[in-house]
Amino acid sequence: MARRAALLARELLHALHELDVALEVLLCRGRGAGVGVPRTAVPSAGPLYHLCSHQREHSIEVQLPLLARLAPHARVVGIALGSGDLDRCREFAAGLADVLRARQEKPLLAISTDLNHYASEAENRRLDAIALSALERLDPAEVYRTTLKHKISMCGLLPTLVVLDTLRRLDLLHTCQPVGYGTSADAGGDTNSVVGYAGMLFG
């Protein structure tokens, strides 16, 4: 198990390196002129850079054991987003769509996010229902406006917007299939302060 984990970690770093190189070319030599990111602002790719970038991120490491179990030969590229707004997410999605459009084999895009955090069970479910309803309408801008308007603390909002807009640009965003919903209270947690979770398939 330890050997497999080590191999998976090395493959992840290699895949992240490949993506960083592609995005560096995209941002600094292509679209970067419009985005306003000088070449010197993008660190050179390498293991130390990756470790620093993802040091405080946990959504990716939570997914890796599941992927190792369900798809042990999968190659994984993790992207962590720290801050931004709808316009920046659109810029990122445009670049990511360009990168994916150039690939013959299209990857599976997975969004890792919780829904609302730390409200009561009833209030959390109410806010989660609002967010899920917006997601089902397949409009990234509406998801963004809805979460801000209702103060829904969806921690993976930005990657959600990026992936939805990327799929839209690739003409791959037509349906949404909810596959599960629950809160931390379902696992025996405190009903006075819960976190919401959902599974959805977009295509």
Where are the chain's structural domains?
2-80, 84-177
The band of 115, judged by pLDDT with boundaries at 50, 70 and 90, is: very high
CA distances from 106 to 13, 43, 190 (A): 20, 27, 41
User: What pLDDT score does 26 carry?
Assistant: 42
User: What pLDDT score does 15 carry?
Assistant: 52
φ, ψ at 28 (rounded to 5°): -100, -20
User: What pLDDT score does 56 carry?
Assistant: 62
Distance (Å, rounded) from C-alpha 190 to C-alpha 9?
34
| Whether the model pTM is above 0.75 | no
The band of 32, judged by pLDDT with boundaries at 50, 70 and 90, is: very low
Decide: 162 and 111 in contact? Cβ < 8 Å.
no
Distance (Å, rounded) from C-alpha 64 to C-alpha 34?
35
Q: Mean pLDDT, to the nearest integer, of 43-47?
A: 42
Higher model confidence: residue 29 or residue 64?
A: 64
Does the structure show a pLDDT above 90 at 148? yes
CA distances from 146 to 67, 69, 100, 152, 164 (A): 31, 35, 28, 8, 15
The owner of tokens 């990756």 is 50
Distance (Å, rounded) from C-alpha 135 to C-alpha 145?
11
The band of 64, judged by pLDDT with boundaries at 50, 70 and 90, is: confident
DSSP 3-state of 160? helix
Q: Mean pLDDT, to the nearest integer, of 189-194?
A: 92
Does the structure show a pLDDT above 70 at 49? no
